[in-house]
């Protein structure tokens, strides 16, 4: 895969803020958008939820070309400065969790606490090799063509059978996601390596993952717990897949409240 990342323009991004209290920046996963975090609305009684869509997702236009975790980190720094947020807690899931680690290790003075959900600082070599393949499929056939494969990773079979509003939101987001936006994000994930930054994270950090996560993500959670100096341990979300926060929002909200204080 050719790799030529370019800076991201923060002017392209609309930041959505709701609630009052301590700022909590939320970074969504591949193929979703800022609405992924709507399930955390009950937290607005004590926190200001700060959300935005990643490049080429929903209300953020396609970037000029490829980007990596360093470009996402610089974009987030610029967004926080633009919004007058000197310091915040950060939570990210999957792609958002990889970004959160890179950001927290790069700009620790801007980060109060970190919640890492269903993520890894670096994918296994096998998974890294597969990301360009998925990027090509998204470009050729659209993200909707990937739903039969993705849904089994994101949710337990029980939730898929129920097909409730959270499952439907995720499927609808995939169906409407830009193929090019998804593909560029896949290429970013093929290259991401936030392990050096993770080792510099002294701030309190909570690691969460669904009980039905794949072994690679369970191994990654173990690595993060052992190598992030500020790790407060691992919390397993019961009866949940890769989209643990969206599949079991009540449990997630309880954990967020307990950890963030």
**Helices 95-106 & 69-82 angle (0-180, nearest 10):** 70
Distance CA 180, CA 57 (A): 10
Q: What is the CA radius of gyration of the chain?
A: 17
Instruction: Indicate the Cα dihedral angle 106, 112, 115, 116, nearest 10°.
Output: 10
State the Cα angle at 219 between 120 and 39, rounded to 5°.
50
Residue 1: its pLDDT value, please?
Answer: 84
> Which helix or strand (DSSP H or E) is residue 232 part of?
strand 231-237
pTM: 0.97
Are 18 and 37 contacting, i.e. CB atoms less than 8 angstroms apart? Answer: no
Backbone CA torsion sign across 249, 37, 79, 103? positive
Task: Assign 47 a pLDDT band (cuts: 50, 70, 90).
Answer: very high
Residue 42: its pLDDT value, please?
Answer: 98
How many separate domains does the chain show? 1
Are 174 and 147 contacting, i.e. CB atoms less than 8 angstroms apart? Answer: yes
Task: Assign 36 a pLDDT band (cuts: 50, 70, 90).
Answer: very high
**Does 44 map to a domain?**
yes
CATH code where residue 179 lies:
3.40.50.1820
Judge whether residue 58 has pLDDT over 90: yes
Q: How many residues does the chain have?
A: 261
Task: Assign 206 a pLDDT band (cuts: 50, 70, 90).
Answer: very high
Residue 192: its pLDDT value, please?
Answer: 98
Q: Which residue has the tokens 């919390």?
A: 235
List, for residues 99-125, the tens digit of each pLDDT value.
999 999 999 999 999 999 999 999 999
Q: 214, 98, 99: which is closest to 154 by C-alpha? A: 214
User: What CA–CA distances, in Å, run from 122 to 36, 118, 128, 193?
Assistant: 23, 12, 9, 5
Q: Span 225-233, mean pLDDT? A: 98
**Does 15 map to a domain?**
yes
* CA 48 to the chain's CA centroid: 18
List, for residues 72-96, the tens digit of each pLDDT value.
999 999 999 999 999 999 999 999 9
**Does 4 map to a domain?**
no
- Average pLDDT over the chain reads 98
Distance CA 62, CA 172 (A): 19
Judge whether residue 191 has pLDDT over 90: yes
State the Cα angle at 232 between 227 and 235, rounded to 5°.
105
State the Cα angle at 212 between 208 and 218, rounded to 5°.
55
List, for residues 119-167, the tens digit of each pLDDT value.
999 999 999 999 999 999 999 999 999 999 999 999 999 999 999 999 9
**Does 2 map to a domain?**
no
Provide the total of helices (H) and of strands (E) in the chain, helices listed first.
Answer: 11, 7
Q: Span 21-31, mean pLDDT? A: 98
Residue 133: its pLDDT value, please?
Answer: 97
Range of the domain at 206: 10-260
Task: Assign 3 a pLDDT band (cuts: 50, 70, 90).
Answer: very high
Residue 84: its pLDDT value, please?
Answer: 98
Residue 225: its pLDDT value, please?
Answer: 98
Backbone CA torsion sign across 3, 7, 8, 9? negative
Judge whether residue 253 has pLDDT over 90: yes
**Does 5 map to a domain?**
no
């Amino acid at each position: 895969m050719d790799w030529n990342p370019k800076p991201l323009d923060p002017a392209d991004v609309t930041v959505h803020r709701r609630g009052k209290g301590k700022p909590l920046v939320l970074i969504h996963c591949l193929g979703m958008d800022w609405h992924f975090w709507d399930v955390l609305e009950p937290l607005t009684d004590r926190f200001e939820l700060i959300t935005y869509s990643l490049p080429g997702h929903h209300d953020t236009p396609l970037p000029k070309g490829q980007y990596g975790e360093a470009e996402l980190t610089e974009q987030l720094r610029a967004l926080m400065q633009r919004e007058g947020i000197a310091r915040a807690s950060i939570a990210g899931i999957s792609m958002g969790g990889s970004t959160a680690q890179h950001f927290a290790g790069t700009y620790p003075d801007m980060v109060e606490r970190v919640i890492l959900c269903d993520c890894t600082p670096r994918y296994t070599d096998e998974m890294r090799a597969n990301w360009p393949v998925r990027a090509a499929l998204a470009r050729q056939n659209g993200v909707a063509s990937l739903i039969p494969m993705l849904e089994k990773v994101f949710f337990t079979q029980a939730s898929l059978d129920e097909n409730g509003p959270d499952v439907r939101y995720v499927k609808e987001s995939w169906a409407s996601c830009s193929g090019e936006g998804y593909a560029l994000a896949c290429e970013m994930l093929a290259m991401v390596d936030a392990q050096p930054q993770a080792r510099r994270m002294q701030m309190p950090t909570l690691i969460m993952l669904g009980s039905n996560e794949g072994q690679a993500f369970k191994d990654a959670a173990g690595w993060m717990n052992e190598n992030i100096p500020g790790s407060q341990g691992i919390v397993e979300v019961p009866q949940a897949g890769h989209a643990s926060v969206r599949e079991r929002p009540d449990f997630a909200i309880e954990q967020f409240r307990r950890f963030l204080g």
